[in-house]
Amino acid sequence: MTDSVMKWYVVRAIGGQENKVKSYIETEIARVGLSDHVNQVLVPKEKVIQIRNGKKINKEKVYFPGYIMIEANLSGEIPHLIKSIIGVIGFLGEKKGGDPVPMRKSEVNRMLGKVDELAIQDENIAIPFTVGETVKVVDGPFNGFDGTIERVIEDKRKLEVMVKIFGRKTPLELSYMQVEKI
């Protein structure tokens, strides 16, 4: 098979089971011996930083829940084989009884560009907090308190948040990761 007949398709899967469905597709294609018809199966992901018990945790989150991208030559029985796999709902854009619709080249480039961008993205994400915004403290000794952002300290990556404690407004200097928007 040449790559000229390989096209990108979007497979709809049960939400939350994208990785499992991806491995099922790869296993089934290899088992049947049609690996030369399927180039790659991709679950777009992004890196997310969460704080749990005061520690930063890097997690990968599925960028498009319920969708898997597949580069393949869908000829013959391959579409039926993929649809018969547990957790697969069908192909995106297909008409009832019709063939799966491939993605446009512009869509593919945008999606793959986004996947690459998410893979190499650093922690230096511009945090979109603004002065006057109401936030909730989610980490530290003031966990659960609501406050208003008084100042954004870009170089330290901190916020000055005014919190009402015992009826008095108190300024707190908190990391971007210690607050979330309400």
Least confident of 32-36, 88-92, 127-131, 152-156: 127-131
For residue 169, what pLDDT is reported? Answer: 93
Fill in the amino acid letter for 174.
L
Domains of the chain, each with CATH number or no CATH: 3-120 (3.30.70.940), 134-181 (2.30.30.30)
Q: Are strands 67-72 and 38-42 parallel, antiparallel or unpaired?
A: antiparallel
For residue 1, what pLDDT is reported? Answer: 44
CA distances (Å), 129 to each of 12, 43, 153, in order? Answer: 35, 30, 10
Select the more confidently predicted residue: 138 or 93. Answer: 138
Span 78-101, average pLDDT: 86
The per-residue pLDDT for range 134-147, each reduced to its tens digit, is 999 998 889 999 99
Span 40-44, average pLDDT: 91
CA distances (Å), 37 to each of 24, 33, 136, 171, in order? Answer: 16, 9, 51, 61
> Rounded distance, CA 116 to CA 106, Å?
15
pTM of the model: 0.60
